[in-house]
Amino acid sequence: MKTKLVSVAALLLTLNLVLGKLAATLALPVYLDSVGTILAAALLPPAFAIAVGVCSSLVGGLVINPYFPPYAPVQLVIALLAVLLCRGGFLKRWWSALLAGFLIGLAAMVTAAPITTVLFGGVTLTGTTAINAVLIASGHSILKSVLGGSFLVESVDKPAAALLAYFVLKRLPAFLKTQSPANPLETNRDKP
């Protein structure tokens, strides 16, 4: 069972890295690096979901952008909130998955904005930095600009990530599902 958990966690970490790299390479104003974290929250025990999220930031610093590691606390918050929302049944319906994504996005915004402001002076990935630059140029402070830019990005990125997770969970073969109380789609017939 432990090998299955580690294998699924590694797959979800890879999903975060691939989608995050794609978004960074295309300079999209979204991150796409939390789909695997949300799926991990639904499929795996909380410690594994946290590991997927935090490792996404740490390894992302090597393969996506060297600025990723300081955002490990953001992935931690995403994982913890996703676990709570999954256990609350928020990934059972598409509309509640969107709501869960919006709530996760708000938490990510509040956690990431001080990091972006203090450590990086408002500069982050290309697409988001463009939004921040426009807001700074319009006379707002760096923090207000980062919060505004983060709100715009996170209100699209995290609901999209949660909706993608919902669709993946809905179509996931039974043999890939783990025996986790967080898995909102697991039924008794899925258990051996």
Residue-wise pLDDT tens digits, 56-72: 999 999 999 898 999 99
Domains of the chain in start order, with CATH, are 2-190 (1.10.1760)
Residue-wise pLDDT tens digits, 126-147: 667 777 788 888 888 888 888 8
> Does pLDDT of 77 surpass 90?
yes
Residue-wise pLDDT tens digits, 122-131: 787 666 777 7
Q: How big is the chain by its Cα radius of gyration, in Å?
A: 16
Average pLDDT over residues 4-24: 94
> Taking the model in full, what pTM does it have?
0.87
d(CA 74, CA 108): 6
What's the chain's length in residues? 192
